[in-house]
Amino acid sequence: MSRIDVRCPACGEINLELDLVETDGWMECEHCGYTARLLSLHRGDATVVGNCCWQVVKPLPSSRTLRAVRNHG
């Protein structure tokens, strides 16, 4: 019920109407395939770079690809 538009932290494309409450913050970018979790949202608009703090998981075959990415803010 609380779907929001989210800008992908990896490729910068916008994913429309994601339900991050239901997924506990996780989303999979439909443009680049990265999986990311929204750790914190400072304000209401997740399409604005700098409003969000992300944990990004690269979609690579190996399993050593966990990487935390923090936007300053």
Q: Are strands 14-18 and 4-7 parallel, antiparallel or unpaired?
A: antiparallel
The rounded distance, in Å, linking the Cα atoms of 41 and 46 is 7
Q: Which stretch binds Zn ion (CB under 5 A): 11-19, 42-50, 54-62, 63-71?
A: 11-19
Q: In the structure encoding, which two tokens stand for residue 27, read together? A: 């989303």
Q: Are strands 52-57 and 66-69 parallel, antiparallel or unpaired?
A: antiparallel
User: Residue 10 interacts with Zn ion (CB under 5 A)?
Assistant: yes
From candidates 16, 22, 23, 31, binder to Zn ion by CB under 5 A? 31
Closer of 8 and 38 to Zn ion (Cβ): 8
From candidates 27, 29, 46, 57, binder to Zn ion by CB under 5 A? 29
